[in-house]
Amino acid sequence: MADKELFRVRKEFVEGVTDELLRQLLDDLLGDGVFNQGQKDWILERNPTTTNKARDLIDTVMKKGDKASRKMIAHLQSRDPELYSKLGLTCGEPAQPAAEPQMKAAGPQMKAAESQMKAAGPQMKAAGPQMNREWSTVLLPTPKEFWEMKLNDSHVYAAAEKSIRNRKALLITNIKFTDETSNRNGAEKDEENMEKLLTGLGYEVFKFTNLTGKQIDDTVIWFSKHPKLRETDSVVVVIMSHGKLGTILGVDWTKEKSDDVFPIKNLYEHLGTENCPALLHKPKIIIIQACRKEDKGPVLVKDGAEQDVACDDALQPDDMDDIEEDAFPFAIKEKDFMPLLSCTPDTVSYRHTVHGSFLIQYIVDVFFTLAREEHIEELFRIVMLRFEDFSVRQTGGQKGGQMPTKDRCTLTKKFYFFPGI
């Protein structure tokens, strides 16, 4: 595939392209309809250096797929045959099986990068094309021209300046449990990171910590009745705790007291059109950091200073002492929901006991860097992509994986956060 061909030469292209060549390629791709004028100007104006412009160009083209990548390769061949030859590119047609070993041999830098990543963090593997991306440590603002371009787009949810100024979010984090062996070490960092991100995106954050199942339910109902919801263009609800299949666990949950839970389906009932008309036709973004497994063993997870990675499942076997997980499917019948669940059914989600959940870390990285230009479904897709080769090594030599899922999205349009507007 041509996009994989571009990825193979990404580093050399960024280092070898000149500003003039870059502008020529942008003009060519504009003429082909791969970019529109706003996208072209955006790449040129938001990046201070030629290497940054080149990196933005090739990453954007790769995301647009094989056809766009083939067009760029063809224009590069025409504009700069010397660089084209130096990169060892083809015309972008799908590679034949016999050529595959050559591609592997031509990309030693990819193997080197993967080895470095493994050495720096043995619990994780390189996540495909994302391993070369430079993630921003601050929330990058949307250019006003991009926001203005989307204002009259019938395929985009309305986001007027006044409604952006009145955004509301609900953040619930369970950290300390009645049974202290269930405490979620590192979840304080998740709470801090999510509050920082949501505030940066323009949301007034209503924050609650260490709630029982009933208190979670009461809090969601309270939020759904808040009079300020009539003024917002969207809401974000984030719940982070231990979980089981179908439920979020309250802080009083124990094996003996297993009824302290919040049913996930209640979230959609309380925020749906019937019970919350103020959110009619408005995006409801839901992020849940919790496991989705049934009971599977008699030993509770124990956090300790020596631990690096943990999970947020309620019950776990003896060989899971160095891992923590965060458990539940539900049916979304209401309109305009966009949920991201931290893992697929019958699996677990992982949390670093110092830096917080991997899901939240990745969400912050992706949103800080790309929320200025991407809609919510694409942002979540990129977060998922970072988990493509994710794995943690558990006690006993076994490996555990995690894959977040966008479960039955009911958005009918694209929703952009437009940070900084």
Lowest mean pLDDT among 39-43, 131-135, 175-179, 190-194: 131-135
Position 315 pLDDT exceeds 80: no
DSSP 8-state class, residue 140:
P
Position 415 pLDDT exceeds 60: yes
Active site (annotated) includes residue 291? yes
Mean of pLDDT over the chain: 80
Position 123 pLDDT exceeds 70: no
- When pLDDT is cut at 50, 70 and 90, the band that residue 398 belongs to is low
Residue with tokens 């990129």: 382
**pLDDT value, residue 372:** 95
Q: For the chain, what percentages of helix, strand and coil (3-state, to nearest 5) are there?
A: 45, 15, 45
d(CA 313, CA 290): 7
- When pLDDT is cut at 50, 70 and 90, the band that residue 380 belongs to is very high
Position 296 pLDDT exceeds 90: no
Position 318 pLDDT exceeds 90: no
Position 95 pLDDT exceeds 80: no
DSSP 8-state class, residue 122:
T
The tokens for 392 are 């943690």
Catalytic residue from among 276, 291, 311, 343: 291
Active site (annotated) includes residue 226? no
Pairing status of strand 392-393 against strand 399-400: antiparallel
Other beta carbons within 10 Å of 398:
11
**pLDDT value, residue 307:** 43
Q: Cα-flanking dihedrals φ and ψ of residue 186, to 5°? A: 95, -15
What is the pLDDT averaged over residues 253-278? 91
Position 312 pLDDT exceeds 70: no
Catalytic residue from among 75, 242, 352, 375: 242
**pLDDT value, residue 320:** 40
Q: Cα-flanking dihedrals φ and ψ of residue 137, to 5°? A: -95, 0
**pLDDT value, residue 94:** 38
pTM of the entire structure? Answer: 0.64
Lowest mean pLDDT among 98-102, 171-175, 271-275: 98-102
Strand ranges in 276-336 using DSSP code E only, listed in sequence order? 284-289, 309-311
Question: 350 or 263: which carries more pLDDT confidence?
Answer: 263
pLDDT > 90 fraction of the chain, expressed in percent and rounded: 46
